Amino acid sequence: MPTAAAVIIGNEILTGKFADENGPYLIRRLRTLGTDLRRLVTISDDLDAIASEVRRCSEAFDLVFTTGGVGPTHDDVTLEGVARAFGRSLVVEPRLVALMEAYGVVPDEMTLRMARVPEGTVLEESQASSYPILRCENVWIFPGVPKLLQMKFEALAQRFAGDAVLTDRLYVTARETEIAVPLAEIAARFPNVDIGSYPRFGEGDYRVIVTLESRDPEALRQAVHALRGTLPLREASKPV
Amino acid sequence: MPTAAAVIIGNEILTGKFADENGPYLIRRLRTLGTDLRRLVTISDDLDAIASEVRRCSEAFDLVFTTGGVGPTHDDVTLEGVARAFGRSLVVEPRLVALMEAYGVVPDEMTLRMARVPEGTVLEESQASSYPILRCENVWIFPGVPKLLQMKFEALAQRFAGDAVLTDRLYVTARETEIAVPLAEIAARFPNVDIGSYPRFGEGDYRVIVTLESRDPEALRQAVHALRGTLPLREASKPV
């Protein structure tokens, strides 16, 4: 089952100038693709921060997605950061220069930075655009503009797919402190089922939402059965 | 100027079961408090992930905020993760046991985990609640439930305050590739002003939003003046 990390690059998110749309999008899409997003990190346009985060994610996860910092301006340092993560040089990719020129971009010291990629970068073609997505090892380098990211991600989505995750949830009327012991016992009995417990205050006729998820339908069914036999539930506990 | 990092702990965010409300809240509040949020990380309920992220953030930033994972259930492992981050033992804090009992919580193997804190943890009192916020070194350990987090954060907010940041933004009618060179020159001339460039597509009568921010009002004014004299702007470029 592929694991993934997303690295959202941009001061504008951390300073609240723009709300992050890319993190929530990747959470949702990777979920429906059945790929486990394990880490979502928002960092500033800082070379060292990018390099160290990308290196760490690349080692720990199957897929790494970066968003942002790939334009021509001074605050676009993602390509340089990825190069540093892998200890590689930046090299001018002539096919990117040609594509930029075809888009009417005049090559100058700044715009050429968009074509200066980490050595060994693969140009991944898709239906989305004649301009490819750059991939360096397992790091997929996406633009930060949400519409562009989404268009390009959708065109490549099957490359990132895993197995579907099945879920259920129960609405518990007791307090979390009252169910922690039996919940822990059942969680230990079903290691293939991820059981989460989330207290809620003033939301309705329940005090805790217990969620279950698994890629094993029979284990999920048995865990739900065990919890239903143990926890005090409100009447209509419905699936997600 | 204090720097900060936020560590959002919870599978439920990464799997899209619940939208993250705590990250956006901390972004907004730290911004108005004038404190620089440099890193926002969402990780799963995993001991090693928590320990390594907390250790790294604690070393790199003045303030670290964790949210989530402090309840009594099996998926609440934040206190153990923070202890591991600092290489400390967990010790039962009798004042927390007494407070839990006062809330009507029966001490058992699971609920007592809420009172087992990293050695040297400080109980930070506030007006928000008789139940304190736990702090281990520069790591402030907040609950994950958004309402509780916000109530407790507000009560302690002045402890986290820095200096106000001044901002402005300009709406540029040229493409980003056409302004990158002069923008880089002006950004280099004003090192105390953080200048960001964000391409936008189909949003209105502009193609790029250029943002400026600084704690130095005169530097900000001069940088805005320089950009206004250089970039093609739409008519009504208004302050944020």
The one-letter amino acid code at A122 reads: V
Residue B228 confidence class, pLDDT cut points 50, 70, 90: very high
The yes-or-no verdict on residue A240 having pLDDT over 60 is: no
Do residues B126 and B191 share a domain?
A: no
Do residues B32 and B93 share a domain?
A: yes
Tell me the residues of chain A between 155 and 214 that have a Cβ less than 8 Å away from chain B: 165, 167, 169, 175-181, 183-184, 187-188, 194-202, 211, 213
Spell out the residues 6+ positions from residue A176 whose beta carbon is closer than 8 angstroms to its own: A197, A199, A207, A208, B71, B72, B73
Other C-beta atoms lying within 10 Å of the C-beta of residue B2: 18
- Burial code (b: 16+ CB inside 10 Å, e: under 16) for B203-218 equals eeebbbbbbbbbbeee
Strand A90-92 versus strand B129-136 pairing type: unpaired
> What average pLDDT does this structure show over A89-105?
96
Main-chain phi, psi angles of B141, to 5 degrees: -105, 105
Do the beta carbons of residue A227 and residue A170 sit within 8 Å? yes
Residue B240 confidence class, pLDDT cut points 50, 70, 90: very low
Instruction: Please state, in angstroms and rounded to a whole number, the distance separating the CA atoms of residues B28 and B22.
Output: 10
Do residues A29 and A147 share a domain?
A: yes
> What average pLDDT does this structure show over B159-176?
95
Q: What is the pLDDT of residues B60-81, one digit of tens each?
A: 999 999 999 999 999 999 999 9
Which of A160, A188, A209 delimits the end of a domain?
A: A160
Residue B239 confidence class, pLDDT cut points 50, 70, 90: low
Which tokens in the block code for residue A106? 């005049």
Task: State the smallest CA–CA distance between residue B56 and chain A in angstroms.
Answer: 11
User: What pLDDT sits at residue B62?
Assistant: 98
CATH code of the domain covering residue A204? 3.30.70
> How distant, in Å, are the alpha carbons of A92, A233, B187, B229, B234 from that of B170?
32, 54, 14, 12, 8
Do residues B224 and B128 share a domain?
A: no
Which tokens in the block code for residue B47? 């001991």
ipTM of the complex: 0.93
Alpha helices in chain B (DSSP H): 11-14, 22-33, 47-60, 78-85, 94-102, 146-156, 176-189, 217-228
**Which of A204-218, A223-237, B139-153 is least confident?**
A223-237
Residues found in chain A:
240
Strand B139-142 versus strand B129-136 pairing type: antiparallel
- Asked if B74 lies within 8 A of A197 by C-beta distance, the reply is yes
Is there a domain that residue B237 lies in? no
Do residues A26 and A122 share a domain?
A: yes
Which of A140, A160, A180 delimits the end of a domain?
A: A160
User: What pLDDT sits at residue B223?
Assistant: 98
> What average pLDDT does this structure show over A48-72?
97
Is there a domain that residue A239 lies in? no
Instruction: Please state, in angstroms and rounded to a whole number, the distance separating the CA atoms of residues B66 and B85.
Output: 13
Tell me the residues of chain B between 124 and 153 that have a Cβ less than 8 Å away from chain A: 144-145, 147-148
Say which of A39, A42, A194 has its CB closest to residue B43: A39
Task: State the smallest CA–CA distance between residue B223 and chain A in angstroms.
Answer: 15
Distance of CA A73 to the CA centre of its chain: 25
Best of B177, B190, B214 to substitute, by most chain A Cβ atoms within 10 angstroms, is: B177
Show the domain range for B27: 3-160
Which of A106, A127, A160 delimits the end of a domain?
A: A160
Do residues B64 and B24 share a domain?
A: yes
Task: State the smallest CA–CA distance between residue A26 and chain B in angstroms.
Answer: 9
Number of domains comprising chain A: 2
The yes-or-no verdict on residue B40 having pLDDT over 60 is: yes
Say which of B11, B194, B198 has its CB closest to residue A196: B11
Say which of B14, B24, B38 has its CB closest to residue A44: B38
Question: What DSSP string describes B106-124?
Answer: PP-TTGGGGGEEETT-EEE
Q: What is the pTM of this model?
A: 0.94
> What average pLDDT does this structure show over A89-108?
95
Do residues B29 and B106 share a domain?
A: yes
